[in-house]
Amino acid sequence: MTDKKNADAGEKKSGAAGNFIRNIIDEDLKNNTYRGRVVTRFPPEPNGYLHIGHAKSICLNFGIAGDYKGECHMRFDDTNPSKEETEYVESILEDVKWMGGNWGEHLYYASDYFDKLYAFAVELIRKGKAYVDDLSAEEIREYRGTLTEAGKESPYRNRSAEENLALFEGMKKGEFPDGSRVLRAKIDMASPNIIMRDPTLYRIRKTAHHRTGEKWCIYPMYDFTHCLSDSMEGVTHSICTLEFENNRELYDWVLSTLNVYHPRQIEFARLNLTYTILSKRKLIGLVQGGYVSGWEDPRMPTISGMRRRGYPAGAIRNFCDRIGVARRDSMVDMALLEFSVREYLNRHARRVMAVLNPLRVVIENYPEDSPEDMLECINNPEDPEAGTRTVPFSKVLYIEKEDFMENPPKKFFRLGPGREVRLRYAYFITCTDVIKDEKGEITELRCTYDPATRGGDAPDGRKVKGTLHWVSAAHAVDAEVRLYDYLFNRENPNECEDYKECLHPDSLKVLTDCKLEPCLAQVAPGERFQFERLGYFCADSRDSQPGKPVFNRTVTLRDTWAKMQKKGKA
């Protein structure tokens, strides 16, 4: 009951439930801290595709902007030059849009601020708050000290502003090799917060940037760029994950020292999911190592992978609402994400019949020359507006291999020799004979049907225990269906020494001889259905073609989340 209620709230608007961040914003609005404005931002680094963790951040930032009638800026934190970034930028924009993020005219790139950031750095130098250091990266690390020991000041720390200005300009002009010098903030080498021990602001990197080309050979560091980008854009609440908690002091120091507009940084716990890794570095490893077919592989926890798998954006948003936003790190069960997908598709996906492992059934008393026998089927019992469709019945059918047993145990209520079952929306049939090949494999069943049971009920009131799905052989559409399991076989793959060692060996099973009901011949890529009794399936956006459909199993019908809750595990 509560789940249903939450889900409905989720679909109305994201994050309808309160959280500690919204409490802070409410307080700021009450105190008129930011003159009534609410401006958030979503700032990915374009060094990979977005994943379900980013979806949480998208829902949070764009959700807040939507609910408070504010703005959410889409900003690429692209201070790290590298080759492949354009592909990542495009995929990120597509994924944010698909998730429902609407940035309006507020699309920004940190690289667009390089001139301004340089000017801010010069200002810090003039104020005696930054210096050029000639120590090597290794020496800087040695000088930094430890959690229990204060750091040591660099011998270059007390250069004059003039000398620093000249050296910094030389760095910009490319006069020094990579790694030979950096610009550092002059703060406190004895600070208990190690991040405050003269952090690096700029480094030399003679690498072309995907947007600024060869213009720069020095690049600003994240901590310097991020707060100033927020400030220049007039962001009010800069929401980031907990690992930046210690960086907040530096965020505040830069803005206060430069005496510029000062947004507020707020941290929340990042999403962790069972059977999943959410580190871009590791995801890149899976793609580059060929362990998956690419970033959009339906087993990947990327937004594009989930989209291809058939997860609706609305279901992902509902999931993000359910998990909420807190300051404590936690591991969310994959079963909850699947529950959200199942629950959403239950209401939105049309039911159809498909046989994945076909077994031929011949209805011996069905007339050879019967006129077309079209049976009416309900498209979605959860949605009366979805209406009905008709499905053809005929003398030769396919049922699921698993739905027949020659020597059925007590609890098996499906078909067996001499047994009667219902074919969904059609007739009662009784198995009269089993045909086998020379190896003893069952190749065909012979059955009889009762014409009086058309539509699926017996006028004499007799009951059957099993109802099977089926497809008429003469009308069936041949299809490929891909079944997915978790990509990893460990609940927490981060615990594996090498995450590639705990990849699930059977995470993909391809079935090439599937039989679908005729309406699925012309399915649109990305269209989703419930295959009755089997699960939810989505036409593959790359490989599915008219007349030759390819389906991905999105999720089964088994509600493992409900089971876990019953057991008190969730």
3-state secondary structure 354-399: EECCEEEEEECCCCCCCCCEEEEEECCCCCHHHCEEEEEECCEEEE
Q: Least separation, in Å, of the C-beta of 56 and ligand ATP?
A: 4
Q: How far apart (Å, rounded) are the C-alpha atoms in residues 415 and 464? A: 10
Phi, psi of 135 (to 5 degrees): -65, 150
Helix/strand/coil for 515? strand
Q: How many residues interact with ligand ATP (rule CB under 6 A)?
A: 15
Residue type at 171 in one-letter notation: M
Using the minimum distance from each CB to Mg ion, give the nearer residue, 45 or 491: 45
97 vs 191: CA distance, rounded Å:
42
User: What are the angstrom distances between the C-alpha of 536 and each of 29, 419, 531, 539?
Assistant: 44, 29, 6, 10
CB distance 219 to 81 below 8 Å? yes
How does strand 428-436 pair with strand 442-450? antiparallel
CB of 234 to Mg ion, least distance (A): 22
What's the rounded Cα separation, in Å, for the pair 200 and 132?
9
Q: Is 152 in the site for ligand ATP (CB under 6 A)?
A: no
Q: Which is nearer to ligand ATP, 494 or 556 (CB)?
A: 494
Q: Is 318 in the site for ligand ATP (CB under 6 A)?
A: no
Does residue number 278 form part of the binding site for ligand ATP (CB under 6 A)? yes
Write phi, then psi, for 546 (nearest 5 degrees).
-55, 130
DSSP string, 331-360: EE-HHHHHHHHHHHHHHHPEEE-EESSEEE
Asked if 53 is part of the footprint of ligand ATP (rule: CB under 6 A), the reply reads yes
Smallest distance, ligand ATP to C-beta of residue 349, A? 28
Here's the x/- map for Mg ion, 360-399, by CB under 5 A: it reads as: ----------------------------------------
Measured CA to CA, the distance from residue 476 to residue 370 in angstroms comes to 18
Could you tell which of Mg ion, ligand ATP, none binds residue 278, using a CB distance below 5 to 8 A set by kind?
ligand ATP
Contacts of 8 (CB under 8 A, 6+ apart): none
21 touching ligand ATP, by CB under 6 A: no
Q: Which of 7, 14, 21, 54 binds ligand ATP (CB under 6 A)?
A: 54
Measured from the CB atom, the residue of 80 and 565 that comes closer to ligand ATP is: 80
Question: Binds 240, which of Mg ion, ligand ATP, none (CB < 5 to 8 A, cut-off by type)?
Answer: ligand ATP
Closer residue to Mg ion in complex, CB, 45/188: 45
Stretch that binds ligand ATP, among 52-60, 208-216, 454-462, 490-498 (CB under 6 A): 52-60
Catalytic position from the list 11, 45, 139, 163: 45
360 counts as binding ligand ATP under rule CB under 6 A: no
**Which DSSP category does 196 fall into?**
G
Instruction: CB nearer to ligand ATP: give 183 or 240.
Output: 240
Distance in Å, CB of 42 to ligand ATP, minimum: 6
Which of positions 77-136 make contact with ligand ATP (CB under 6 A)?
Answer: 77
Q: Is position 282 annotated as part of the catalytic site?
A: no
Please choose, from the candidates 503, 476, 473, 470, the residue with its C-alpha nearest in 3D space to the C-alpha of residue 488: 503
- b/e per residue 139-151 (b: at least 16 CB within 10 A): ebeebbbeeeeeb
Q: How far is the CB of 52 from ligand ATP (least distance, A)?
A: 8
**270 part of the active site:** yes
Q: Does 57 bind ligand ATP (CB under 6 A)?
A: yes
Q: Are 62 and 101 in contact (CB under 8 A)?
A: yes
Size of the site for Mg ion (CB under 5 A): 1
Smallest separation, CB 15 to ligand ATP (Å):
14
- Alpha-carbon span 383 to 526, nearest angstrom: 20
Q: Kindly tell me which of 273 and 479 has the beta carbon lying closer to ligand ATP.
A: 273
Distances, alpha carbon 313 to alpha carbons 11, 18, 186, 426, 551, in Å: 10, 21, 46, 35, 19
- Please say which residue, 53 or 493, places its beta carbon nearer to ligand ATP: 53
Q: Which is nearer to Mg ion, 279 or 443 (CB)?
A: 279
> Nearest approach, Cβ of 283 to Mg ion (angstroms)?
13
Say which of 270, 360, 414, 490 is annotated catalytic.
270
Q: 17 CB contacts (<8 Å, ≥6 apart)?
A: 6, 9, 321, 324
Burial 234-272 (b: 16+ CB within 10 A, else e): ebbbbbbeeebeebbebbebbbebbeeeebbbbbbbbbe
If one asks whether residue 279 binds ligand ATP (CB under 6 A), the answer comes out as: yes
Min separation Cβ 51 and ligand ATP, Å: 7
Query: Which of 56, 75, 307, 419 is in the footprint of ligand ATP by CB under 6 A?
Result: 56
Compute how many other C-beta atoms are within 10 angstroms of the C-beta atom of residue 313.
19
Q: Containing H/E element for 508?
A: strand 508-516
Helices 114-126 and 248-258: angle between axes, nearest 10 degrees: 80
Q: Which of 172, 197, 211, 280 is catalytic?
A: 280
Interface of this chain with Mg ion, residues 22 to 51, rule: CB under 5 A: 45
Binder of ligand ATP out of 93, 240, 423, 502 (CB under 6 A): 240
Residue 279: CB minimum distance to ligand ATP, A: 4
Residue 358 · residue 513 · CB < 8 Å: yes
Exactly one of 44, 301, 310, 535 binds ligand ATP (CB under 6 A); that residue is 44
Q: Would residue 280 show up in a list of annotated catalytic residues for this protein? A: yes
- Residue of closest CB approach to ligand ATP: 53
Which residues in this chain contact ligand ATP in the complex, by CB under 6 A? 43-45, 53-54, 56-57, 77, 240-241, 270-271, 278-280
Which residues in this chain contact Mg ion in the complex, by CB under 5 A? 45
Catalytic residues: 45, 270, 280
